[in-house]
Structure 1
Amino acid sequence: MDLTALRYFFETALAGSIRQAAERVHVAPSAISRQIAKLEHELGTALLERRSNGVRLTPAGELLAKQMQLTVRDITRVRSQIDELKGLRRGEVSLWCIEGLVDNYLPDVIGRFTQQYPEITFNIVITSTDRIVQALIADEAEIGIALNASLKQPIVNSGGWSEPVQAIVAPGHPLANRTSVTLSELTEFKAALPDTTFGVRRLVDRILESQGTVLRVLATTNSIQMTASIARQGIAFTLMPYFAVARDCAAGSLVAVPVAETEMEMACVEFCTHESRRLPLAAREFLNFLKSSAPASHNPRKKRLHAVA
């Protein structure tokens, strides 16, 4: 099969549009169409369904796109291994991460890592814990940073840290000046929570179930940022670990109030990898950097309660 045709097909599959694929590879859309038609003729089957708003993969197209994705990953690994033989410190890290770390922690770590390894680049996907685990299993990601993932072989925890879930409120919220709050007290106010694909939501649900507590949920979202934005409006609180809203709290737009129950399950940030896959040099270097840069596990709830005792 013609490598150009395969490349143009794969770019179209990724973009979902012949026009967008053409822009990415800097050729005319007609050139993309001709190469894909050539590929379809060679395979004897349609690979794409043309629609007014783009294209959709046929079952045959999905099979080819999946194989192309694996091939691209293998080529990337080979290049990293060749670079390793040369003693170079360049390459690309495929990193999938939960949304709660994108506003503060992850950019800071990448910035410090880049100072040491300026030739290493990143391909970063922000998504839910469930999707991160799926990506590691499917070999779409080299490193996943998840929260309270239900890890099973072949995915393993390679490091991380833990901290408690706290009540996150706006400065004008009735709970903002409290030194702590109980779960039963939270039932008096409306809550905004991420949906159940997020590790933090499943953690919150387990905590609530263990305490026999039911919240008045105003909004459920598929975005940590949206959840925090609702809390900033003062119309609802949310339950999250501090790291997810650290920048807002530092700026004074949100306040983190410890939850008084001392036996609650902690929020655990986990650096996840596939146990049977050897990471390329760039990814290994970054994973080691993540481990050395992880905050110490801590529980500000106990510290604050002790201070006011």
Structure 2
Amino acid sequence: MSAVLLDHHRLQYLHEAVRLGSVRAAAEALDINASVVSRQIALLEKELGLSLIERLSRGIRATEAGALLVERFRKWEADQADTVAKLRELQGLKRGHVDIVLGEGFVSDLMSGPLGRFWLRHPDLTMAFDLAGTNEVVNAVAEDRYHIGLVFNPSADPRIRVATASRQPLCAILPPGHALAGLNRPLRLHELVDHPLGLMHPSYGTRQILAMAEAAERIALAPKLTTSSINVLRHFVKSGLGLTLLPAFSIAADLADGSLAAIPIDNRLLSSSEACVITRRGRELPHAAGQLLRFLSGQMRAFRAGEPAAKMKPRATRR
């Protein structure tokens, strides 16, 4: 193949078409005619002598060559933004911006003190926060849509680097006066079977590790309520409708005011779950993002292993 100068706009059209799953959707996102997107991708294929997309009955998908170009484009875009940020730092500018994607369980912890303390030190720094499930947090960071991800118990992924990890056991969350709270010992997972449960959707880390624990103990928990919101689960328990399973740091304020209790579960898998700060492997973060990452890793309760949340019952004994 002779040397080819890859056109940035054509790569952008390819990236959007693959990301959104269709040429038409890419055109709408870019606010141009669909024929322009289709023609530019075709010209890129002609220049390279390779097929970059497969047309399906509903939309398109990338070929191996197309996927390689899309991944490279994402990294080029992120590297360009990071380089501009570094150049501004060299100019002595104090401003900066950080994009963070996180699970809902980290919000209370983050807002209860760490974020305010960071902004006292860096008042001109701006941030954007978006909430997502575990799988989406990993993908969003891996695709350079965010600088940093805060995620509970992510699966291993070669695209991401775990900058900080702290063991945060999954606990039974229940009203303080509940009969199970009065046992004064770690609970067995099977003891929850006969209680109405509210659980997160399967794309969330809490549900994924719980499914593994169920399989290991050969039991099945049938949730009465399934949701994507920890806030919904909090109210579900507070209203006396049932129990849930969450890491204690995600309801730290409720534990502190005594409105909820967190009881450890005597299960090896649930005791080994972790809260993680992640970045894309190989990405050199701008100074502002790097400083925030280090600050949150040291200041947030979720990343201080062994520190009990308020009024949490004794830890589960190991089998």
TM-score bracket, normalised by the shorter chain, equals: 0.7 to 0.9
Q: Which residue of 1 aligns with 2:234?
A: 228
**Superposition deviation, residue 189 in structure 1:** 1.0
- Aligned mates of 2:173, 2:128 — CA distance in 1: 31
- Mean Cα deviation higher: 171-180 or 159-168: 171-180
Aligned CA distance change for structure 1 residues 280 and 191 (closer, same or farther; 3 Å)? same
Alignment: residue pair count:
265
**Superposition deviation, residue 304 in structure 1:** 5.4
CA contact under 8 A between 1:169 and 1:237: conserved in structure 2?
A: yes
Q: What is the TM-score normalised by the length of structure 2?
A: 0.70
Is it true that 1:297 corresponds to 2:302 in the alignment?
no
Q: Which residue of 1 aligns with 2:143?
A: 138
CA contact under 8 A between 1:160 and 1:271: conserved in structure 2?
A: yes
SS state at 1:217 partner = coil
Structure 1: segments with no counterpart, 5+ residues? 1-9, 11-34, 46-58, 61-67
- Aligned mates of 2:76, 2:164 — CA distance in 1: 29
Alignment of 1:1-309 (within 5 A): 40=33, 43=36, 76-180=81-185, 181-261=187-267, 264-294=270-300, 295-298=303-306, 303=314
- The amino acid across from 1:187 in the alignment is V
- The amino acid across from 1:204 in the alignment is L
- Aligned mates of 1:100, 1:191 — CA distance in 2: 18
- Aligned mates of 1:207, 1:305 — CA distance in 2: 15
Aligned CA distance change for structure 1 residues 237 and 199 (closer, same or farther; 3 Å)? same
CA contact under 8 A between 1:262 and 1:302: conserved in structure 2?
A: no
- Mean Cα deviation higher: 75-84 or 292-301: 292-301
**Superposition deviation, residue 293 in structure 1:** 2.0
Aligned CA distance change for structure 1 residues 251 and 278 (closer, same or farther; 3 Å)? same
- Mean Cα deviation higher: 156-165 or 292-301: 292-301
SS state at 2:284 partner = coil
CA contact under 8 A between 1:179 and 1:305: conserved in structure 2?
A: no
CA contact under 8 A between 2:141 and 2:148: conserved in structure 1?
A: yes
Q: What is the TM-score normalised by the length of structure 1?
A: 0.72
CA contact under 8 A between 2:74 and 2:144: conserved in structure 1?
A: no
CA contact under 8 A between 2:265 and 2:271: conserved in structure 1?
A: no
- The amino acid across from 1:237 in the alignment is L
- Aligned mates of 1:230, 1:99 — CA distance in 2: 16
Q: Percent identity?
A: 27
SS state at 2:183 partner = coil
CA contact under 8 A between 2:202 and 2:208: conserved in structure 1?
A: yes
- Spell out, residue by residue over 1:102-136, the C-alpha distance to the aligned partner (whole angstroms, 9 max, x if none): 12335522111111111111111111110011111
- The amino acid across from 1:211 in the alignment is E
- The amino acid across from 2:199 in the alignment is L
CA contact under 8 A between 2:298 and 2:304: conserved in structure 1?
A: no
SS state at 2:197 partner = strand
Aligned CA distance change for structure 1 residues 264 and 107 (closer, same or farther; 3 Å)? closer
**Superposition deviation, residue 252 in structure 1:** 2.1
CA contact under 8 A between 1:207 and 1:265: conserved in structure 2?
A: no
**Superposition deviation, residue 172 in structure 1:** 4.0
**Superposition deviation, residue 163 in structure 1:** 1.9
SS state at 1:171 partner = coil
Aligned CA distance change for structure 1 residues 234 and 164 (closer, same or farther; 3 Å)? same
